[in-house]
Chains A and B, each alone.
Chain A
Amino acid sequence: SQQGEEDPQALSIQEGENATMNCSYKTSINNLQWYRQNSGRGLVHLILIRSNEREKHSGRLRVTLDTSKKSSSLLITASRAADTASYFCATDALWAQKLVFGQGTRLTINP
């Protein structure tokens, strides 16, 4: 299956520390996207990285993509309590008409 798998499933860190989440997938992709979901809310798009890109930044977010290893990582620097949420990667396969989401990483930032 195309499903992305996030690692770890849960992560708890202190405010101000950096948080790193990883995503692995199985087949060739056109792009990979990261989303955030706060409790009781919908998903919010964070960043999209194309298959020909290796790194992308947006504010305190840094995403890397290694297509040879079929993996991506999301780094949140200088974490804040408001970053507490679940984070999902989603892959957009070349042949598919849909995004396929992983199970997510639940991130808790402790004050």
Chain B
Amino acid sequence: ETGVTQTPRHLVMGMTNKKSLKCEQHLGHNAMYWYKQSAKKPLELMFVYNFKEQTENNSVPSRFSPECPNSSHLFLHLHTLQPEDSALYLCASSQESGGGSNQPQHFGDGTRLSIL
């Protein structure tokens, strides 16, 4: 049991669709993250939220829109995606974010996204 739950596990969508990815953590953490994992590339940080406030946007295209209504939930709203956006999207949480926090991150199992 991971403590971080992501839904859906798999998503196939057309380039004109709008969909959302959901992440929920049951660990009482204050920081949540979205990562993109593509084949043969390092894990790419997309967004960081700390105490519901966005603290990092790693130059992510505007077709990805995050939302963090509370410290336990994180969404990634998708619209007008491109084929190169096909990837595994991972959500993670930690007690807090920031350099020097010495905090491990806890990951969900991801959403495998395929753009047709």
Across the interface, which residues of A come within 8 angstroms of B102, CB to CB? 30-31, 48, 50, 92
- Interface positions, chain A 60-111, Cβ under 8 Å from B, are 88, 92-104
Across the interface, which residues of B come within 8 angstroms of A103, CB to CB? 40-42
CA distance A104 to B40 in the complex (A): 9
Chain A binding surface SS class: strand
| CB of B4 closer than 8 Å to a CB of A | yes
CA distance A21 to B57 in the complex (A): 31
Chain A 22-61: CB-based contact to B (< 8 A → 1; otherwise 0)? 0000000011010100001111110010100000000000
List 29 A–B pairs whose Cβ atoms lie within 8 Å, in order of A's numbering: A30-B99, A30-B100, A33-B104, A40-B109, A40-B112, A41-B110, A42-B2, A42-B6, A42-B90, A42-B109, A43-B92, A43-B105, A44-B107, A45-B106, A48-B102, A48-B104, A50-B102, A92-B99, A92-B100, A92-B101, A93-B99, A95-B99, A96-B99, A98-B97, A99-B105, A100-B42, A100-B45, A101-B42, A102-B42
Tell me if A43 and B107 are in contact (CB < 8 A): yes
A94 with B43, Cβ < 8 A, contacts A42-B90, A43-B107 known: no
Across the interface, which residues of B come within 8 angstroms of A3, CB to CB? 42
Q: Which A positions have Cβ atoms within 8 angstroms of B?
A: 3, 30-31, 33, 35, 40-45, 48, 50, 88, 92-104
Tell me if A42 and B56 are in contact (CB < 8 A): no
CA distance A43 to B100 in the complex (A): 21
B83 to chain A, nearest CB (A): 21
CA distance A94 to B98 in the complex (A): 9
Tell me if B55 and A41 are in contact (CB < 8 A): no
Across the interface, which residues of A come within 8 angstroms of B21, CB to CB? none
Tell me if B109 and A88 are in contact (CB < 8 A): no
Across the interface, which residues of A come within 8 angstroms of B100, CB to CB? 30, 92, 94
CA distance A98 to B103 in the complex (A): 10
Residue with the highest number of chain B CB atoms closer than 10 Å, among A33, A42, A96: A42
Which listed residue (B2, B6, B97) contacts A97, Cβ 8 A?
Answer: B97
